[in-house]
Structure 1
Amino acid sequence: MPPNDVRLRQQMLRRKPVSAFLADSEQAESQQGGGLRRTVGTFQLTMIGVGATIGTGIFFTLSTAVPEAGPAVILSFVIGAITAALTALCYAELTSAVPVSGSSYSYAYATLGELAAWVVGSCLLLEYAVSGSAIAVSWGQYLNDLTNRLFGVTMPAAISAPPGDGGYVNLPGVVLVVLCCLLLMRGSKESTLVNTIMVLIKLAVLVLFVVIGITGFHSANLHPFAPMGFAGISAAASSVFFSFIGLDAVSTAGEEVKNPQKTLPRALIGALVVVTAFYCVVALVGVGAQKWTLFNGQDAGLSAILQRVTGQNWPGALLSAGAVISIVSVTLVVIYGQTRILYSMGRDGMLPPVFRKVNPRTGTPVGNTLIVGAFIAVLAAFVPLDWLANLTSMGTLVAFAVVSIGVIVLRVREPLLKRGFKVPGYPVVPALSVIFCLYLIWNLPANTFLLFAGWLVLALAVYFGYSRKHSRLGRAKGDDQPLDAGPVMAD
């Protein structure tokens, strides 16, 4: 094999040791105003996970998932929850062993090598940016429903409906992204406090939906239970899986969490339990209170169900208000997660230094946040909603599968590494997690695979054109002179 080919192969397979990740985190923390700050506790972190999850799957996904599966959409959520549970256990082990920012990008870098880490990081960027856009797009639907119920006023569909579905530019989505970015730039402590308040409000609103909606529950609405058969259930499960993105969002906060080796696993498992319970109960009440054929194309679906059950306006208005608040919290956490992944990639030299610049006053990556916000706002403004949802599922599932593989690889390569949590039933649980993820990927529509392939081609072009040449790991190994390990101070 020619020397250049050997060198390229070595570059793509080089791994960043866990000790190097921990050293980077400690060095950044020790620098005055130079790194992210540990201000987040277990409850706040659990609320980040719940906040990033509930809001996407319940407040608008039923309108697209129920027509695919019928009342059996409940089973679709169960399949998604099982896959998420298996993966959550794998995340819990890796977060306790490698408690740093960067989520599955960092785990892949420590276990599978630089190229694999870059691909996973690209999937995460797709996952977060696209899901943030999808969520922001849906905000306009519930905002319109709320203003219509309260004041009889709605925004024109051209600027509020999803692009490609009656809309041309989704202006509310752009406004929402801007507001979330402004809050995130103030600091993690302030952002997590606001998020916790909004999450508690949205959970209260969903409890209200269950209490009122169950009065209109009719078992006849559950027949036929699976009109599209198991194929429909599987297709819906693949579509709604992006609702479980919150699990990954928890792991992005590794360098801003107090006592991360215990806090991260607890928050992951706690968020999954809360989310699964709410998803299944709300879905059951929804399909029991309204015929499944009525969900197709229904904007602000849960509000419409309450209106139908009670014959009154106020329950639907209250639920739409809760959805407006809920979707704000989801968008906030999604943008937060993406900026922390980009921060880790920038610190590793895989992206330009602007992504690792931290404001010394707020301890937040301001320039990074502005870039992420602009990208998500453009997607929310112009890209059709169904494209966004399926692409998010693809990126999420690929990242989840890599995390599960990473658990096995790290057990083999570093068996003595300190772990605050270990996956029960190893190696069966990680293997099952990979199998479930691949199964859901297989059921995604063909156009999603084409869009995903295009994204990977673009990502690989950036890696070979920039990242492999600027990688800190490569420079430390002699490809070039060493690069400073810490974050760059903002001007």
Structure 2
Amino acid sequence: MASTLRRLLRTKPIDEIVQEGGQGEGGELRRTMSLLQLTMFSVGATLGTGIFVVLGEAVPLSGPAIVVSFVLAGLTALFSALSYAELAGTIPVSGSSYSYAYATLGEIIAWVSGWCLMLEYAVSVSAVAVGWGQYINEFVGKLFGVRLPEVLSNPPGEGGVFNAPALAVVLIAAFLLLRGTSESATVNTIMVFIKIVVLLFFCVIAFTAFRAGNLAPFAPMGVAGISAAGAKVFFSYIGFDAASTAGEEAKDPRRDLPRAIVLSLAIVTAVYVLVGLAAVGVLPWREFAGAEASLAMVLDHVTGAAWPSIILSFGAVVAIASVVLTVMYGQTRILFAMSRDGLIPKVFQRVSARRQVPTANTLIVTAFVGLLAGLVELGRLADATSIGTLFAFAIVNVGVMVLRRTRPDLRRSFRTPFFPITPLLGVFFCAYLMIKLDSGTWTAFLSWMALGLVIYFSYSYRHSRLASQS
């Protein structure tokens, strides 16, 4: 029993993790990504559907103080982002929180973290892809007056049989990923700039009709309302860690990964606060209740014309495509790292000698995500991604504290400020938001964890490279 426990909690030497960086079966990954591309990867994964729909859910909870709620959620994310930045600069590899946990907390914790990331990435990107068909329909409908039939554009359970647009956006992302990392990063950077410009366009239009009187009373629901809205909008920040999955393809990972993580969070927070302020300055806060397309509603109120909403719909289509691309990229690189450690089959670490990307890995992820998006009603499993993400964030915060104690000698290109208060607050806020989620979401999450442990003890425990070295 004691030997089994030691094996479960055995950590992987950091020097070995870093030395393996980029190496896969049959080839190695290529370092092509600049600071700008890394930053845009994180912004691309974060700035997606959330901001286009979240105001209709969050403003009724907080009133005009939604601006404060965005700042509160941003600060909550910042605690974890600073821990990610330290570990990304110290352990610059592809596995994100999975690799960080393997180096600090042991194999079983690393597996749980990796399994949480599979839930976060694979299921969330499927859920996002499902929404792409709805935005495509809205964009094409307003522009040309035609719409796709519901059976081919809605998810099962909502009048659809197969969501063809969801599969289409997954296949587009797969095509770019198979072309190469540099090509994918370039396209993503262009898409991120487009969606930021579209959101700034919204702000410019909205501020022409801004009325200060709509901001009073500023916090009608008090601090409780601000906190409730903060918990709701926090999930619009999930994805800032995407740069940490590119540790083995960054040109200068020790310098650029910490900068990209913190910079991307700053950009996203600034955009969210500006959009939130513009929106509540145009309409009385009570009118946001139940509005699914709240930004389009604001533009319709200001202009009374269709063309601004067409531009906004185009921005949403681009935003979702960017999220699908970056999140699928992150999923393949995490699986690459787990396969290299023997915890999942070797096929996931095979690298194409010509393109220098994990081709088989990408095709498998594409097939899984595409079928999930096209055929499955995600329901509670999609909601459970929130808990999985927060759990992974908490592990990273704990990992920073453990590594500072066990390896104070390590070269750190970035140090979390106000240590240990910052990572402790990161753990606290992650736990706080987790317990605020409903029991059905917890049931789905625990079921996913149980499945993960079955797979670990039936396959990963026996095939672990670390165990075979002992």
- TM-score after normalising by structure 1: 0.90
Identify which of 418, 422, 428 aligns with 2:415. Answer: 422
Partner of 2:207: 214
Counterpart of 1:336, as a letter, is Y
Q: How many angstroms does 1:157 deviate by? A: 3.5
Partners of 1:181 and 1:376 in 2: how far apart? 10
Partner of 1:364: 357
SS of alignment partner, residue 235 of structure 2 = helix
Tell me, yes or no, if the aligned pair for 2:49 and 2:316 is still in contact at 8 Å: no
Tell me, yes or no, if the aligned pair for 2:55 and 2:288 is still in contact at 8 Å: yes
Q: How many angstroms does 1:326 deviate by? A: 1.6
Which structure 2 residues correspond to residues 20-31 of structure 1 after superposition, within 5 A?
20-25=16-21, 28=23
Partners of 1:367 and 1:147 in 2: how far apart? 34
Partner of 1:8: 4
Whether 2:135 is the aligned partner of 1:142: answer yes
Partner of 2:55: 62
Partners of 1:116 and 1:157 in 2: how far apart? 43
Partners of 1:59 and 1:385 in 2: how far apart? 20
Moved more, 9-18 or 166-175: 166-175
Change (3 A) 1:223 1:392: farther
Change (3 A) 1:223 1:196: same
Structure 1 vs Structure 2 CA RMSD: 2.1
Identify which of 3, 13, 17 aligns with 2:13. Answer: 17
Identify which of 237, 243, 250 aligns with 1:244. Answer: 237
Partners of 1:36 and 1:294 in 2: how far apart? 51
Partners of 1:144 and 1:101 in 2: how far apart? 36
Q: How many angstroms does 1:43 deviate by? A: 0.7
Moved more, 385-394 or 420-429: 385-394
Identify which of 217, 225, 246 aligns with 1:253. Answer: 246
Partners of 1:11 and 1:56 in 2: how far apart? 42
Which structure 2 residues correspond to residues 374-453 of structure 1 after superposition, within 5 A?
374-382=367-375, 387=380, 390-453=383-446
Deviations 1:375-397 (A, max 9, x none): 22233235557746532221211
Moved more, 102-111 or 359-368: 359-368
Partners of 1:78 and 1:469 in 2: how far apart? 46
User: Deviating runs (4+, > 6 A) in structure 1?
Assistant: none
Change (3 A) 1:228 1:178: farther
Moved more, 124-133 or 163-172: 163-172
Partners of 1:284 and 1:384 in 2: how far apart? 34
Change (3 A) 1:346 1:81: same
Counterpart of 2:47, as a letter, is I
Change (3 A) 1:385 1:287: farther
Partners of 1:169 and 1:64 in 2: how far apart? 28
Partners of 2:365 and 2:222 in 1: how far apart? 40
Partners of 1:363 and 1:210 in 2: how far apart? 41
Q: How many angstroms does 1:65 deviate by? A: 3.3
Partners of 1:266 and 1:48 in 2: how far apart? 13
Identify which of 331, 339, 343 aligns with 1:346. Answer: 339
Change (3 A) 1:227 1:450: farther
Moved more, 231-240 or 465-474: 231-240
**Count of residues paired in the alignment:** 470
Partners of 1:161 and 1:73 in 2: how far apart? 31
Tell me, yes or no, if the aligned pair for 1:96 and 1:261 is still in contact at 8 Å: yes
Deviations 1:374-420 (A, max 9, x none): 22223323555774653222121111111111000001110101111
Partners of 2:381 and 2:128 in 1: how far apart? 9
Where structure 2 has 5 or more consecutive residues not aligned to the other structure, the ranges are: none
SS of alignment partner, residue 425 of structure 1 = coil
SS of alignment partner, residue 53 of structure 2 = coil
Q: How many angstroms does 1:122 deviate by? A: 0.7
Change (3 A) 1:240 1:165: farther
Q: How many angstroms does 1:234 deviate by? A: 3.6
Change (3 A) 1:69 1:164: farther
Tell me, yes or no, if the aligned pair for 1:355 and 1:368 is still in contact at 8 Å: yes
Partner of 1:156: 149
Change (3 A) 1:75 1:316: same
Q: How many angstroms does 1:311 deviate by? A: 0.6
SS of alignment partner, residue 358 of structure 1 = coil
Change (3 A) 1:397 1:455: same
Partners of 2:452 and 2:111 in 1: how far apart? 8
Tell me, yes or no, if the aligned pair for 2:152 and 2:164 is still in contact at 8 Å: yes
Partners of 1:158 and 1:14 in 2: how far apart? 50
Moved more, 425-434 or 293-302: 293-302
Identify which of 277, 284, 287 aligns with 2:270. Answer: 277
Whether 2:177 is the aligned partner of 1:190: answer no
Partners of 1:303 and 1:94 in 2: how far apart? 40
Q: How many angstroms does 1:22 deviate by? A: 1.1
Partners of 2:200 and 2:70 in 1: how far apart? 18
- TM-score after normalising by structure 2: 0.94
Moved more, 77-86 or 188-197: 77-86
Counterpart of 1:8, as a letter, is T
Q: How many angstroms does 1:252 deviate by? A: 0.3
Partners of 2:65 and 2:388 in 1: how far apart? 25
Tell me, yes or no, if the aligned pair for 1:238 and 1:393 is still in contact at 8 Å: no
Which structure 2 residues correspond to residues 26-65 of structure 1 after superposition, within 5 A?
28=23, 34-65=27-58
Tell me, yes or no, if the aligned pair for 1:133 and 1:377 is still in contact at 8 Å: yes
Change (3 A) 1:76 1:373: farther
